[in-house]
A and B are shown apart, each in its own frame.
Chain A
Amino acid sequence: MAFSQDLVRGSVIPIVLKLLAERPMYGYEIAKVVNRRTGGKLEWKEGTLYPALHKLEAQRMVSSKWADSPSATGSGRKRKYYAITAKGARQLAKRSAEWEEFTTAVNAVLMGA
């Protein structure tokens, strides 16, 4: 089942923040992890990820650093790694709480009747 684009677009930032809270990642790695965890149900256009990351970086919710990728995976290529900042962590907590309340409220209407 394909999700509506509005739902997908609205979920990008909390998902990215959540993944970066686990460990620093580069763009393609984030896309791969999302695909793996959602079983491919979230069909992001991979390019969408980068404007979101840049926006978060401009808002100082994530920081970036170019570093050599581990030799096993990256054939020595330099990649831009993103890491969550303290501000991003606070934003993630806020977004998570919001999401929980939102889904509870929507479920109450959609399922509870």
Chain B
Amino acid sequence: MGLGYLVKRLLTMIPVFLAVVTLVFFTIRFAPGGPFDGERKLPPEIKANLDKKYNLDLPLWKQYLLYMRDLSRFDLGPSYKHSNRSVNDIIGEAFPVSLELGLWSLFWALLIGVTAGGLAAFRPNSLFDYIPMSISILGICLPTFVIGPLSILVFGLWLGWLPVAGWDTPADRILPSMTLGFAYAAYISRLTRGGLMEIRTQDFIRTARAKGLKESTIILKHSLRGGMLPVVSFLGPALAGLLSGALVTETIFNIPGLGRFFIQSALNRDYTVVMGTALLYFTLIFVSNFLVDIFYVILDPRVRYE
């Protein structure tokens, strides 16, 4: 895999990005209702004035051209809902928060997930396998909307160890990041175990074992590399999802992150914010999937990209 591939791959991002902009721009307009519709129906004149103010009265293709013009200047436009803030302002304020939460969660997820999965694969069908895997199943069927309130109740209210909600002190980071991390850890541990079990039986591992290498060395040095492929594939989109904000966790812990805007903006028909968040998410997906593909090569040198 040479530099040529890297450059080529990055260049493909441009047409794909344009495809995303266009696709999202036009599809979201098919949804019923607009940004200014509310319970009290606006008199048609006032509605017309509002549409005019935001250029929503123009034909859609003209709006699209205007949007593309602004986008080429990295201007994502004004928010229709939060009228004194631009989409750039909103992302600038909220994205760092989600990024921090995401990185903390990723840390927990990998730490817990890989450790548990590794332990399980190391001694399959033993207590080391059953206990972590059972916990991981619990983690999967108790989603964040259960774990979140439950952990607030236990650690925030009953034990009083940690704050119930908010995003000020370092202590505020613990519960939400562990809640979110736990959900991902559950997936990662199962994928790790599955991947390792797969690779354990392959020839080069058998050779290593035959050479009398310690089982732990085999796991760490040899198995982890090949066995992590499914985990790495999963991590690509998961990373983008984690970093761009987790709606449920952010809402439950009242964290001012970007995740809330993904759904809020869609429900508010705040078109520009929807576009902004979708484009950000796409960029994250693209970059993390790119990293994943590079990781394939690192993990398995035989993989080649033309």
A and B together in one complex:
no
- Which chain B residues have a beta carbon within 8 Å of chain A's beta carbons? none
